[in-house]
Amino acid sequence: MTEDIRVRYAPSPTGHLHIGNARTAIFNWLFARHYNGKFIIRIEDTDSARNIADGEKSQLENLAWLGLDWDESPEKPGEYGPYRQSERNEQGIYQPFIDKLLTEGLAYKSYKTSEQLASEREAQQAAKQAPHYVYEYEGLTREEREAKYAEFEAKGLKPVVRFRVPEEKTYAWDDIVKGHIEIGAKEVGGDWVIQKADGMPTYNFAVVVDDHMMKISHVLRGDDHVSNTPKQMMIFEALGWDIPQFGHMALIINGETGKKLSKRDENVLQFVEQYKALGYQPQAMVNFIGLLGWSPKGEDEIFSLEEFKQMFDETRLSKANAKFDQKKLEWINNQWMRRDLEEIMPQLIQELVTANLVSPADATAKADWLAQVIKVAGVEGISYTREIVDLVRQPFFELGDITDEMVAYLTSEEGRRVFDAWESAYIALPDDATAEDYLNAIRGIQNQLEIKGRNLWNPIRIATTHEVQGPNLPEMLVVLDKATVLQTMADVKSNYLN
């Protein structure tokens, strides 16, 4: 690719960063960066009713969290600003093009009310016709049409501007991911609105003006935009502009319903913020998303953004929709947590603070000890940092109840012998005994008493931790405070063994 590559991610600030949008952003970024192009962020806020106060800020923050950067955006204007469509409209950027189409007769003003439109559509449905807009000035001269305008204006009606669709044409393009696509102009449903009654351009119109003015060379977006493409091509054509390359990526779909991930699905976490809150790593999110609908050449599965950038190849984009597989995401996150354990340790400790297991002061003062506890508890078994809390809670911060089953282990004839032997062995061991020392002590008891397996280990586990399962006992003993363990053992003894 020799031309200047400029791609954009153009979200509308109607909510937080959705997984599907994040994927669009990531692939656009990858495309731009792989080919040494520019990555631009433009805010498509032409629907003021749906804009959400912090939508834009939140989306950009999450994009940055994922590790993306961009060359131009609302807060980082380049030479093609502004980068918010609402501001572009205020500056009158769209109006001249609308006027041009109007004067050239390629567009016209329409005064039909939404009620009229609805009833037209209903009638068409009833007649088993595809819904389509019916041109109301058929056969009229320009003067007659303008006279109608005046008539409607006098009634106080506000017009929309509609583009006169050249219905005989067929629009075709070679899609970067799907290959050759052709759609007849008559399939777009008739003359469509390019400017709303409130003066705002519609999405399909503003996109064209902006993509042209911002010199966007490639448009990589979701499959759901395929049918918008002919509409946009008509405008490019009517305005005499070059058409960018389009690529429509398959959608991410809900595993249960098989439908496009919708913000209304509540059975799937689908905002990157939610994953962030649970303690998913940004590298893992990127890794997972990068593998949804795209596959690398080899057999590896764990990749950083940088590696994806190096490997990126738009011909390996999948044409088929992909289901969102939470389990795989969990596995990938687990891989990243293990890989970056030292880096995420502060985050793991913070989870303990959040769960009120540790005070903020202790989180700092006892950081080394907490790190040991966390390592002993085992990050290998968790999917995201939040899960460390349940692994660590008992016996490191609280002791559980002793169940009847545990009492049985403790009070059996063998259990009592093990307890006594362990008690004296433990007391005899130095405060800085290693895991190996503890293991040797237990092995010693095994040989001396000729008791092994659960009958050996469980009484000791119960006496020291009130648990019958958990991480390796010798390792836990290293981390556990000796005075506390001694107290626990004394309590167990007086409650169950006397």
Partner RNA sequence: GGCGCUAUGGUCAAGUGGUUAAGACGUCGGCUUCUCAGGCCGAAAUCGAGGGUUCGACUCCCUCUAGCGCUACCA
Q: How many angstroms separate the first and last alpha carbons of the chain?
A: 83
Residue 109 host element (H or E) = strand 107-110
Taking the least distance from each CB to RNA, the nearer of 3 and 256 is 256
**Least distance between RNA and beta carbon 181 (Å):** 5
Q: Which of 77, 96, 131, 346 binds RNA (CB under 7 A)?
A: 131
Tell me how many residues contact RNA (CB under 7 A).
88
Q: Is 453 in the site for RNA (CB under 7 A)?
A: yes
The Cα–Cα gap between 487 and 254 comes to: 52
Could you say whether residue 44 binds RNA (CB under 7 A)?
Answer: yes
Q: Is residue 179 a contact residue for RNA (CB under 7 A)?
A: yes
Residue 124 CA: distances (Å) to CA of 82, 117, 128, 256, 353: 41, 11, 6, 34, 62
Interacting span for RNA (CB under 7 A) from 55-63, 92-100, 221-229, 394-402: 221-229
Q: Does 225 bind RNA (CB under 7 A)?
A: yes
Stretch that binds RNA, among 25-33, 200-208, 239-247, 480-488 (CB under 7 A): 200-208
Rule CB under 7 A: say whether 113 interacts with RNA. yes
Question: CB–CB of 395/404 below 8 Å?
Answer: no
Residue 263 annotated as binding site = yes
Q: Output DSSP code: residue 108.
A: E
- The span of 26-34, 41-49, 64-72, 144-152 binding RNA (CB under 7 A) equals 41-49
Sequential DSSP letters for 255-291: TTT-SBP-TT--SS--BHHHHHHHT--HHHHHHHHHT
Parallel, antiparallel or unpaired: strands 170-175 and 179-184: antiparallel
Which is closer to RNA, CB of 224 or CB of 306? 224
Q: Which is nearer to RNA, 57 or 259 (CB)?
A: 259
Q: 284 and 336 in contact (C-beta within 8 Å)? A: yes
Tokens of 282: 């940004």
User: In the bound complex, what is the minimum distance in angstroms from residue 453's beta carbon to RNA?
Assistant: 4
Question: What span, in angstroms and rounded, lies between the C-alpha atoms of 396 and 144?
Answer: 86
Residue 85 is inside which H or E element, if any?
helix 85-90
Minimum Å distance from CB 498 to RNA?
Answer: 25
Task: State which residue, 274 or 318, has the beta carbon closest to RNA.
Answer: 318
**In the complex, least distance from residue 271 CB atom to RNA, rounded to whole angstroms:** 16
Does position 299 interact with RNA (CB under 7 A)? The reply is yes
Name the segment binding RNA (CB under 7 A); options: 43-51, 57-65, 91-99, 365-373: 43-51
Q: How far is the CB of 439 from RNA (least distance, A)?
A: 7
Would you state the torsion angle of the CA atoms of residues 384, 387, 392, 398, taken in this order, to the nearest 10 degrees? 160
CB of 474 to RNA, least distance (A): 6
Strand order in the sheet with 160-163: 107-110, 160-163, 192-195
- Could you tell me the smallest distance in angstroms from the CB atom of residue 268 to RNA? 13
Specify the residue, 178 or 362, whose C-beta has the smaller distance to RNA: 178
The reply on whether position 264 binds RNA by CB under 7 A is no
Query: Given the rule CB under 7 A, which of 143-151, 316-324, 360-368, 393-401 is the region that contacts RNA?
Result: 316-324
Q: CA separation (Å) from 438 to 45, 448, 456, 496?
A: 65, 15, 14, 24
DSSP secondary structure string for all residues of 136-188:
TTTT--HHHHHHHHHHHHHTTPPPEEEE---TT-EEEEEETTTEEEEEEGGGG
Stretch that binds RNA, among 23-31, 256-264, 270-278, 350-358 (CB under 7 A): 256-264
Which 389-428 positions form the footprint of RNA (CB under 7 A)?
none
- What minimum distance in Å lies between the beta carbon of 464 and RNA? 11
One of 135, 236, 457, 496 touching RNA (CB under 7 A): 457
Provide the b/e sequence for 172-186 (b: ≥16 CB within 10 Å): ebebbbbeeeebebb
Q: Which stretch binds RNA (CB under 7 A): 31-39, 100-108, 134-142, 247-255?
A: 247-255
For RNA, which residue of 448, 472, 487, 495 counts as binding (CB under 7 A)? Answer: 472
Report the residue from 75, 454, 481, 484 that binds RNA according to the rule CB under 7 A.
Answer: 454
Q: Which of residues 48-67 bind RNA (CB under 7 A)?
A: 50
The verdict on 386 binding RNA (CB under 7 A) reads: no
Alpha-carbon dihedral of residues 410, 411, 412, 414, nearest 10 degrees?
60
Q: Which is nearer to RNA, 130 or 365 (CB)?
A: 130
C-alpha–C-alpha distance, residues 228 and 360, integer Å: 53
Which tokens sit at 462?
Answer: 């119960």
**Among the residue ranges 101-109, 114-122, 368-376, 411-419, the one whose residues contact RNA (CB under 7 A):** 114-122
Q: Is 158 in the site for RNA (CB under 7 A)?
A: yes
Q: Which two tokens stand for residue 477?
A: 């003993």
**94, 206 Cβ separation under 8 angstroms:** yes
| Run of H or E residues at 121 | helix 114-126
For residue 300, the SS3 value is coil
Nearer to RNA, 363 or 468 (CB): 468
Mask for 322-351, x = binds RNA (CB under 7 A): xx-x-xx-xx--------------------
Binding-site residues, please?
Answer: 263
Binding-site residues for ATP, please?
Answer: 263
